[in-house]
Amino acid sequence: MNRRAFLRTTGVALGAVALAGLPVRAQGLEGEDLANLEKALQAALGKGFKDLTPSNLIKLTMPAIAESGANVPAEVEVDLPSSQVKAIHLFADKNPTPHLVVIMPMKALPYYATRVRLAETSAIRAVVETADGKFLLASASTRVTVGGCG
């Protein structure tokens, strides 16, 4: 192989890698750990990450940066009637126990606010279990300077 042919083939290969890699990186959240999350999802819902449908009906509010992971405010609001929301779950990918909380709104509006501990910079997930058996997902990411789980 001469120099020109080598450059052409490697160039094409590199370009392909860059094209394939970019969209994934653009979508990926900071502090994402699907392997750890998957176990918690299976334990809590009996469903995997692939069974969740990303939805705009869920508004998950997390700070972009938290100085201390010991006390991070989290707020979730669901744009659905209460009767259609069976449960709201919160997960943090990187926590030793990723399942943060489950809320059964019953007569309350589908809203929940709390303060959570984050072990390190992590993606946070809000999963809404609807009355007709669907699982809706919203994600956010918080960068943590000092961890809160030890």
Partner 1 sequence: MPIRTIVRLTPAKPKAGENFKLQVVAQHPNEPGTRRDAEGKIIPAKYINQVEIYFEGEKVAEAKPGPSTSANPLYGFMFKAEKAGTFTVKLKDTDGDTGEGTVKLELA
Residues that bind partner 1 (CB under 8 A): 70-72, 75, 92, 95-109, 111-119, 148-150
Please, which residue, 8 or 115, has the CB nearer to partner 1?
115
Cα distance between residue 150 and residue 141, in whole Å: 20
Task: For partner 1, give the closer residue by CB, 53 or 71.
Answer: 71
Cβ atoms of residues 116 and 74 within 8 Å: yes
What minimum distance in Å lies between the beta carbon of 99 and partner 1? 5
Q: Smallest distance, Å, CB 13 to partner 1?
A: 44
- CA distance linking residue 53 with residue 50, whole number of Å: 8
Residue 116 or 123 having the CB closest to partner 1: 116
Distance separating alpha carbons of residues 108 and 88, to the nearest angstrom: 12
CB of 129 to partner 1, least distance (A): 13
In the bound complex, what is the minimum distance in angstroms from residue 105's beta carbon to partner 1? 6
77 vs 134, beta carbon nearer partner 1? 77
State the Cα angle at 104 between 99 and 108, rounded to 5°.
135
Tell me the residue type at 79.
D
- Please give the structure tokens belonging to residue 72: 């991070």
